[in-house]
A = this chain, B = another copy of it.
């Protein structure tokens, strides 16, 4: 089943099983079913449970907060992850504060599709979940093609803590494989069993020299890098993919490589990857490199976009250099 179908099925289950679940967002009802078609068909099946919103992201993000305060479980969609810039105040100064300072269990999920590599340009390609990382009272969760997006969404809706749920636009169309063979080469297994699991992609038998740690859609580039390292450089790598970005305990990840490369799609400076690399170095005592986008807005033109965003070939090059430097 594809990523989008996992999500759609989960939303359908949630709506069917829990009358307090509501969906809010722009163009989520029929016949559009959402800009990325995640909610396609659902407003017909569940009349009155999907509420199409005006273009008013601040307003309806807060509308959802009120619904959550009143005991409902809103799932709020922000059409592009780039537009979360508009709701930072409602999320940081209201939602997160109500949850912890006012000590109210809140069921609230803000879903948003993130990411680039599609030529949509500077205001439609960013991975701005970074804005919410480290803010107390918020959890940032991102599914990927090795972790069931539907299961993660259900867990998030029922967590009782506000969740920023970051989907990836290109992943929607990709199949999800959570256990067993992945392509001809790799095997997927659960590395850390948890409500928000960590999945491992690796060769079945051979121990890896380097461990990648990543999340979300950029996993695609990491997997390609993993393949090329093997074929072109005879370097064996594994990948651990995290779904709980803010609270995942990377300190105790079962890393099998002697060195670690943490990859994120967003800008590497002051991002997720460096924080994770810092913690891995401190707690696992392994050398850890952080990779991510270069310090530029995301251009539309393909060669420019691929220069800025992390690509498989850049991951390969920098990983090899790092392994050389980090050789004991």
Contact = CB atoms under 8 A, between A and B. Distances in A.
A194 to B, nearest CB: 18
Contacts of A295: 136
A296 B100 contact: yes
Q: Interface residues of A toward B: which range?
A: 35 or more
Given A100-B296, A122-B101, A270 B134 contact: yes
Contacts of A136: 267, 295-297
A89 interface: yes
A135 B269 CA distance: 8
A321 to B, nearest CB: 12
A149 interface: no
Contacts of A269: 133-134, 246, 275
A132 to B, nearest CB: 9
Contacts of A89: 83, 85-86
A92 interface: yes
Interface string A54-74: 000000000000000000000
Q: Which of A89, A97, A133, A289 has the most CB of B within 10 A?
A: A89
A137 interface: yes
Interface in A72-104: 82-83, 85-86, 88-89, 92-93, 96-97, 100-101
Contacts of A123: 93, 97
A185 B44 CA distance: 74
A304 to B, nearest CB: 10
A111 to B, nearest CB: 19
A271 B86 contact: no
A299 interface: yes
A178 interface: no
A262 to B, nearest CB: 10
A312 interface: no
A128 interface: yes
A82 B86 CA distance: 15
A297 B134 contact: no
A11 interface: no
Interface string A92-124: 110011001100000000000000000000110
Which 7 residue pairs are nearest across A and B when measured between Cβ atoms? A134-B270, A85-B89, A133-B270, A134-B269, A278-B278, A85-B88, A88-B88
